[in-house]
Every structure is written in structure tokens, then in C-alpha cells.
Amino acid sequence: MPELSQETEGGRSLLPFGVAEVTGPSMVPTLYHGDRLVVQWGARIGLGDVVVLRHPFQQDLLVVKRVAERREGGWWVLGDNTYAGGDSTDYGAVPEELVLGRVRFRYRPLKPAQRSPFALLRWALSAARPVFSDRSASRRLRAR
């Protein structure tokens, strides 16, 4: 499951936005290992949104998933990669209080090998993308 680096919570209470780093494959093809996320803490959540939440059984672990539906007891969240697991099919509906924020943007950090002007331009044009509630739109705009 995509876990987030623990440094992501540092400024959460002071600022409405924060940065998180994705680790793991469960949100592929929308998010990849190493992607950075701009998260709006405390944002209103709706169906299809990509959200950051506390894992229901390991609350010190932050994960990123897509909201599939509202159920009794909370939000039903799923990963975009159906083969990776680690979502509500494993732990059930996530209580509202464990959903921390909504992912607004995804960007990929510049790699050390990307030094030529062409590589920098290519990175600048593809590194940052909004993360949409519509899974197909997010997939179409992912950087390669």
C-alpha cells in the first residue's frame, strides 16, 4: 500500500497544505513510488477523491487511497491498482476521523540525471499534475 513518509505530518496543524511522499504500488497508475503529493489537510471529501488517511489498524501509518463510496461506519477506500491490496477490502470502512486530507496535486522530483535543457524542459512540462476525482482523467495526465 502506498505509505507516506512520517515527515508529512509535521506542519499539518499549522498549514492547510502539506507535502507527502508516496511509497508503494497500490495507487499505480495514478501515483507512483517516489511521487510527491500536495495535500489539503481537513478538506471536504467526496466520491472519487484521492485522500490521505490513517491506517485503521496501524494509526501511526499514513496511506493514500481513492474514496469509492460512503458506507455505514465511514468511507470505503480502494487503491487504483487492484492487485496491490491494502485497502477497505482488507480493513473495512474507514471512520471519518481517520481521513486527514485530500490530495490536490502530484509532482515527481527532478532526477540527478536530468541535467540537459531538453530533459529539464520535459520534466517541467510533465512533473506536476492535478489529481482528479475522475480516475480516468488522472490516468490520462500522468507523467511518464
Question: How much of the chain exceeds pLDDT 70, in percent?
Answer: 83
DSSP-assigned letter for residue 124: H
Which pLDDT tens digit goes with each residue over 98-121?
999 999 999 988 877 777 888 888
From the list 83, 44, 36, the residue with the least C-alpha distance to 64 is: 36
Report how far residue 4's alpha carbon sits from residue 61's, in angstroms, rounded to the nearest whole number: 8
Please tell me which residue, 4 or 91, carries the higher pLDDT value.
91
Distance CA 4, CA 41 (A): 14
Pick from 83, 82, 57, 53: which is nearest to 65 by CA? Answer: 53
Q: How many angstroms separate the first and last alpha carbons of the chain?
A: 21
Confidence band of 70 (pLDDT split at 50, 70, 90) = very high
Whether the Cβ atoms of residue 78 and residue 88 lie closer than 8 Å to each other: yes
Arithmetic mean of pLDDT over the chain: 84
Phi and psi at 36, nearest 5°, equal -105, 145
Q: For the whole prediction, is pTM greater than 0.85?
A: no
pLDDT tens per residue, range 21-67: 999 999 999 999 999 999 999 999 999 999 999 999 999 999 999 99
| Residues shown for the chain | 144
Count helices and strands in the chain by DSSP H and E runs: 3, 8
The average pLDDT across 57-80 equals 94
Q: Give the residue among 77, 73, 70, 68 at the shortest CA–CA distance from 2.
A: 77
More confident residue, 56 or 141: 56
